[in-house]
Structure 1
Amino acid sequence: MSVQIEAGGDAEKAIERVVPQLVADRVASGITAQDPDLWGEAAIDEASKRLGWTEAVALSRPLVAEIEQLREELLAQGLDHVVLGGMGGSSLAPEVITRTAGVELTVLDSTDPGQVLDAISDRLSQTVVVISSKSGSTVETDSQRRAYEKAFADAGINPLERIIVVTDPGSPLDASARETGYRVFNADPNVGGRFSALTAFGLVPSGLAGADIGELLDEAEAILIYLASDQPENPGLILGAAIAGTDPLKDKLAILSDGTHIVGFADWAEQLVAESTGKDGKGLLPVVLDKESPELSERLKDVQVVRLVRDASRIFHERQLGEGDIVMSGSLGGSIMTWEYAISVAGRILGINPFDQPDVESAKVAARGLLDARPEPTPPAFTADGIEVRGDASLLSGVSTAADAVEALLGTIGPDGYLSIQAYVNRNASPQLADLRDLLARRAGRPVTFGWGPRFLHSTGQYHKGGPADGVFLQITADSPVDLEIPGRPFTFGQLIQAQATGDATVLAEHGRPVLRLNLTSDAATTALLDLFAS
């Protein structure tokens, strides 16, 4: 079998207890047959149109030759730099596919004006852009398309020769792109965004960048017979039971690469897990870690560790398995399919619909309202070291430094809670902000997640509002030294990303989640923030 999973402790007990019932209920064959009844009556409508991913390998085969031919045509024209404008499921899968393949793909999944300008100014004469949006109405990708159209036109380049669209058939983008004359690839509309890795959304940008997408589909196909079988050895049933069947439930899922050849898989799995399970006050919170992260040594009772390794069977038999850890190895295509089955199984175990995302739209609505109204920014409670501090009065009472404000936020984390750090900044210019995750995890003694905004709004954003009400939130925004107009829109990229941050903070506060916002007014403020917690 091309995927191996081993487990110890509570996860092993969950497998022994839960898998036999899943086999008896014929859950695996039911998923493969696209049976929408598996998740209860309330989920039937959504599930009946979201199980197309089970046959993605077969449906995507004809795309391979078409994508490879287009790549050859582009290379013959000297177009060897591929940029992907996409969010959530449209960008996370191509990112892991191309990084694992060792080929270059510039992923533009931000509305930060500096990051957009970085992409546009990089080898424009050699660039082809894939604009990828399932609905066709995603504000980020629409804005990115408009920016690239103008950049190409200003450089005397016909945008029709450089922009390729991936979208659902019949979407607003599908209609407008075809009318304009763009090359369009359609994906299966019966596949949700986070399950779309092996559809046109994952394959078009990855294949154009040079990844072997035929081999990826071969890897996925090799595991399908095992995933469809109602047998105790089914890796999808095993993984689903291990992550969702512990008693009591370990609802923080720590995922880390520990020797695997797959690059960045945890970031892709993060969206799949969070957006699929975080609803109705339930869910599994994915926490992306590395081998030195504090959570691994603290052995928190509600954290289930999943290690992605090179050879799970060897680690298990040589007793290198950490107490209660799950270890998993396998091909990229096989791992993608296994996790998609496992999360569908987890939804059944948890009693939720894994295919909807009822709370994602709320932050979008709030951001649109702010862009329409354009209110004056809320004055900061105080400014120190170039860091503007904003938050609820009860949180900031008696606080006069950014460090004390963060400590006050950490003090609101409950015994089962977590901290979410959300950085709405140019991650090319400030990658060091990701270091805050480990720094604050050591102080908090609880799981800490880190997300670049606004891309996480399309992944963990669902869990933050719909999952268990035990999160506290640290927003980091920045005054950009540059801004960029969005052609045909009455707002700029700078205004858009600020509205997205403010809109999400507003919705979180309405849900009763504590939110602290730190706005960095300069590069020196970024350094000052990191220095506050480095000691």
Structure 2
Amino acid sequence: MTNKHLKLHIGNAEAAAHSTLIHLADEKFVQRLWDRDTTLWKPDADHRKTIGHRLGWLTAPSGMRKQLPHITTFVNEVRQAGFTDAILLGMGGSSLAPEVFGASFGPQAGYLRLHVLDSSNPDVITETLKRSTLEKSLFIVSSKSGATTETLSLFRVFEAQLRRQGVAQPNQQFIAITDPGTPLERLAMKQVFRYVFSNPADIGGRYSALSYFGLVPAALLGINLGLLLDRAENLSQRCGPKVAPALNPGVYLGTLLAVLARRGRDKLTLLLSPSLASLGAWIEQLVAESTGKEGVGILPIGDESLGRTQDYGNDRVFVAITLAADTPALGPHQLRSLVASKHPVISWTLADHYDLGAEFFRWEIATATAGAILGVNPFDEPNVTESKDTTHALLNPLTADNRQSSPQPVAQREGVGLYTTRIPGDLPLGFEDTLDQFLATIQPGDYLALLAYLHPRHEKALNKIRLLLRNRLRIATTLGFGPRYLHSTGQFHKGGANRGVFIQIITKSYTDVDIPQAPYSFGQLYKAQALGDFQVLQRRQRRVLRIHLEDDKASRLTALHHHLQDALERL
């Protein structure tokens, strides 16, 4: 099976993929996609109504071109005003595409440096508050719904900080990107923000890379939006309504991923050239949140170091994306080894970073296609609100000056406490038995998610734990920092197949940050988000272990690594 744009090694899935592509052609899938035929995904009226309001991304590359003159005017005015940095306050779909642009391109000469703040961790927020360039920073308050708790809370904190620093007109350092008529748009108008970008309401958050949510931060970096949209439009035409599924780059990719997922290869392992590394988190949110529902889905595995072929189970499909001038995502020897072990491998090459415009569109089409084949609505996120609602319930008592009640550990050792689901009447287990019993539940085809409510500086140590677990258990692993993952893979954790095994890692060692006009602090919000997600995973009967570190020292994670290593040797 061949496609001139992709290099394929999909083994015995070829016949099923070929058959599915013929079926899509017979069903006129591509034409119906561009006609916005909502019955491609669901037949019932409620789903069709939701889907109908989420298909604006199809024409975003051409539609946003009309907005380039006023984006350019805005950016020139900001540069002339002396701003040197842009700090984006946003979560999930509002932050991930800008992060890709910032990490891949970096600031061009004479343009702004971009910093993305997508956390409620008080230490991370405090570090940003202490930046020496706040008075020369433009704050991008970015939220599709205009009601994202973290985003609005961050706005209040930084607006208050600028006032404390004596800035005469602090709100002139803020712009908003949101849908028309949202609470954020009303706030921005009332507070007289410097600028408000009203995004088309029919573009969902995770499909918004080529809308204002992605393009305004990109423009502030000095990226040539015309060239970026040229690449996106070129790919859009190659995915157009008259292009057969087998020749359509987006539909073809989505078909392969869905067919492989239905055959048990549902762990989409992303291998990327170093300068494309940040693209993995964007793909992770798009694919996981779009397909992970109704007990099915495709789980992207990003930023996982390539291991030996024997480290992988039979649930993997590898997608390797190489940047022409960068280190190859997958070397010839590694490719031969994976193919020899009968792992499906799909690969292609980008000419330069501006091909990211095309890449965003490719993956959006692919995800919409995969959703249709899997029988899910790829434009909703029905389980995301569970953790949000539980978080708000935990925060409500704080209005009466009460404290959140925390569960008690079932076992402790050397500053490491373990929390898990206990059946009433069961005798308590010791530390080693609790770890052993939890790890013993893991089976081939499962995945293990590390959910870290810690400072990102611990990423290296957490990845060491992640690889230990992958290599010993031969299962896919993910690493997500809370609350960021709640806006990404959180939907998959609750809505996808019950094959997830979750280790949540928390600590109470942080400097708290008050939120003006709120009855709780960021420390309390952060704690409630962690506890709320733990409780929801328990209610969903997911296998979840909560690990509390006595403090934020690196030695605690080293000790945890040793405890897990010992437990794995006892299995």
Distance 2:439 2:302 in 1: 19
1:19 alignment partner AA: L
Q: Residue 243 of structure 1 contacts residue 253 of structure 1 at CA under 8 Å; is this kept in 2?
A: no
Q: 1:496 to 1:10 in 2, by over 3 A?
A: farther
Distance 1:115 1:315 in 2: 36
Q: 1:222 to 1:306 in 2, by over 3 A?
A: same
2:294 alignment partner AA: D
Distance 1:321 1:33 in 2: 43
SS in 1 for 2:388: helix
State the 1:298 CA deviation: 3.3
Aligned partner of 1:271 among 270, 285, 298: 285
Q: Give unpaired runs (5+ residues) of structure 1.
A: none
- Once the two structures are superposed, residues 400-431 of structure 1 have per-residue CA deviations (whole angstroms, 9 ceiling, x without a partner) of 33x66444322212332111110012214665
1:285 equivalent in structure 2: 299
State the 1:248 CA deviation: 4.8
- Once the two structures are superposed, residues 187-244 of structure 1 have per-residue CA deviations (whole angstroms, 9 ceiling, x without a partner) of 1110111101101111112221333333221110111111113312111121011100
2:557 equivalent in structure 1: 526
1:458 equivalent in structure 2: 487
State the 1:434 CA deviation: 3.3
Aligned partner of 2:25 among 23, 29, 38: 23
Distance 2:310 2:348 in 1: 20
2:22 alignment partner AA: P
Distance 1:165 1:404 in 2: 51
Q: Residue 253 of structure 1 contacts residue 306 of structure 1 at CA under 8 Å; is this kept in 2?
A: no
Q: 1:66 to 1:400 in 2, by over 3 A?
A: farther
- Percent identical residues: 35
Aligned partner of 2:175 among 164, 171, 185: 164
2:211 aligned with 1:191: no
State the 1:322 CA deviation: 3.9
Moved more, 99-108 or 167-176: 99-108
2:146 aligned with 1:136: yes
Distance 1:84 1:114 in 2: 17
2:64 equivalent in structure 1: 60
Q: 1:10 to 1:212 in 2, by over 3 A?
A: farther
State the 1:178 CA deviation: 1.0
SS in 2 for 1:393: coil
2:269 aligned with 1:255: yes
Q: 1:405 to 1:449 in 2, by over 3 A?
A: farther
Moved more, 256-265 or 180-189: 256-265
Distance 2:136 2:510 in 1: 27
1:250 alignment partner AA: G
Distance 2:271 2:302 in 1: 9
Aligned partner of 2:157 among 147, 164, 171: 147
Distance 2:456 2:423 in 1: 31
State the 1:526 CA deviation: 3.1
Q: Residue 39 of structure 1 contacts residue 351 of structure 1 at CA under 8 Å; is this kept in 2?
A: yes
Q: 1:459 to 1:257 in 2, by over 3 A?
A: same
2:461 aligned with 1:432: yes
Distance 1:45 1:84 in 2: 32
State the 1:64 CA deviation: 2.7
State the 1:10 CA deviation: 4.0
Aligned partner of 2:49 among 40, 45, 65: 45
Q: Which TM-score applies when normalising by structure 1? A: 0.93
Distance 1:315 1:440 in 2: 25
Q: 1:429 to 1:336 in 2, by over 3 A?
A: same
Q: CA RMSD in A?
A: 2.6
Q: Give unpaired runs (5+ residues) of structure 2.
A: 108-112, 398-402, 567-571
State the 1:140 CA deviation: 0.7
2:124 aligned with 1:115: yes
SS in 2 for 1:211: coil
* Higher relative contact order, structure no. (Cα contacts within 8 Å, ≥ 6 residues apart): 1
Q: Residue 267 of structure 2 contacts residue 299 of structure 2 at CA under 8 Å; is this kept in 1?
A: yes
1:413 equivalent in structure 2: 442
- Once the two structures are superposed, residues 7-55 of structure 1 have per-residue CA deviations (whole angstroms, 9 ceiling, x without a partner) of 2214544432211221222212222222212112133111111100001
2:463 alignment partner AA: A
Distance 1:329 1:253 in 2: 21
2:319 aligned with 1:306: yes
Distance 1:165 1:534 in 2: 47
Q: Which TM-score applies when normalising by structure 2? A: 0.87
